[in-house]
Structure 1
């Protein structure tokens, strides 16, 4: 089917409009972050990159960023391994209670955090895990495993059965089939899961807030909220701090962008 020149121009115009609408808030924050704090500084007409250093120092974001990195690495690594193994079992094996187990994982996706956060806090407090790294990470690991199992189950169910059968004929067991055959082939799907889990964990606000009442395990989004209320009244340093908090997610996405898009397109084609 051929597309006329007028249709192409209209398509690009609509896409440009939507892109501008989506990018306008981001550009506004960037412009504010490098802008002056007062009119006297505005007369110089230059970018004020020192705003990032001032926000980093005043808001103590070095500690918050380190905490977010530790929580994210723990959640992503544990959830990824558990999701791959559970997804492989539910996607390729047949056993009694299979559907029930799968529905339990789906329940973990459907139940919102707000509905379980209060009893979960008391349970972790009784175990002595509040204000600890594990107390903040464990609930997010459970949530990520629920989605990750659903995601990897769909991939394994749609994987090429001929490759698995050929490996079985060569004497490969479940461990070898999973880690040496299916996992390398499923790199786009796994990379997509890693990126989504990292983004959700990094941006999580409620769980660190509730599970660390003393603020001993305060992540970057929490630090940004407290920085807004305690350290700065204007918008310049606040915008600079927001850019610092969002920067790791942007960097990881740009680094994994090709695999992420391939994984999403692969899932769309299979559906």
Structure 2
């Protein structure tokens, strides 16, 4: 046991360092948001008189209420459909083993390597020809396509971790592929689907680049996409900009904190299977 003590200590030290590297920027942003407006705080220092009204001022200055509604509509358009397609496609690749499944899986892996920035120009002209530019569909449809490679690979990996005996037993009882998927695999995939839903929500909510490139109307963008316009108007007011950034991040942080148990459960299931 003693020979493992240095490894345990090193692991704890690395964990503390990673936590500090993650927490320090947020702490700096928070203390800056409480400073007097039209000032430029340096470093991390708690203001002697915290200006909590900065958050209210930032909320009204950025007109965040309609933007929150727009982000919610985009999330509702992306996440449920992406989950349904990923659950079905992952099942097909992992269990059904249809001809060409390996080729499809290889193409999905290639899709994981394509940077989003390289797709903006062709997406812009394609959506323009379809008459969808400057609408929420210009963000919903591309995001569903961009999320598919990771989502399908995620679900395929989960289905492969399930015992094959479950599928064989259901088949012996006369269940077809659709029944096996709906009655056996889908209920067991709830942790994987829940964690994937969290990731898709965070990625959609925080989408910035596509929102400002494909939608001109700030009211139709995501909240993160509207941050560009907010910064343009209040770029010199670092305090107000910090408060607005924290307000935009708050829903995503709350969703992750509330549903993190499902996320950790899915990760642990994969680790135990290995």
TM over 0.5: yes
Shift of 1:98: 1.6
SS of residue in 2 equivalent to 1:245 = helix
Q: Which runs of 5+ in 2 are unaligned?
A: 40-46
1:208 aligns with 2:235: no
RMSD: 2.3
1:35 aligns with 2:35: yes
Distance, in Å, in 2 between the alignment partners of 1:238 and 1:94 is 51
Q: Which runs of 5+ in 1 are unaligned?
A: none
- Would you say the 8 A contact 1:131–1:215 is kept in 2? no
Q: Aligned pair in 2 of structure 1 residues 150, 17: CA closer, same or farther (>3 Å)?
A: closer
CA offset digits 1:147-186 (Å, max 9, x no partner): 1111111111221112222222223222232222212212
Q: Aligned pair in 2 of structure 1 residues 11, 59: CA closer, same or farther (>3 Å)?
A: same
Aligned counterpart in structure 1 of residue 105 of structure 2, from 91, 102, 105: 102
Residue matched to 2:20: 20
Residue matched to 2:242: 239
Aligned counterpart in structure 2 of residue 181 of structure 1, from 179, 184, 193: 184
Shift of 1:101: 1.9
After TM superposition, the structure 1 = structure 2 runs for residues 84-95 of structure 1, keeping only pairs within 5 Å, are 84-95=87-98
Shift of 1:246: 0.6
After TM superposition, the structure 1 = structure 2 runs for residues 28-107 of structure 1, keeping only pairs within 5 Å, are 28-37=28-37, 45-107=48-110
Distance, in Å, in 2 between the alignment partners of 1:55 and 1:160 is 52
SS of residue in 2 equivalent to 1:36 = coil
Q: Aligned pair in 2 of structure 1 residues 216, 165: CA closer, same or farther (>3 Å)?
A: same
Distance, in Å, in 1 between the alignment partners of 2:142 and 2:213 is 11
Q: Aligned pair in 2 of structure 1 residues 98, 59: CA closer, same or farther (>3 Å)?
A: same
Q: Aligned pair in 2 of structure 1 residues 124, 266: CA closer, same or farther (>3 Å)?
A: same
Shift of 1:37: 2.2
Aligned counterpart in structure 1 of residue 262 of structure 2, from 248, 259, 263: 259
Provide TM-score, normalisation by structure 2. Answer: 0.89
Aligned length, in residue pairs: 268
- Would you say the 8 A contact 1:136–1:217 is kept in 2? no
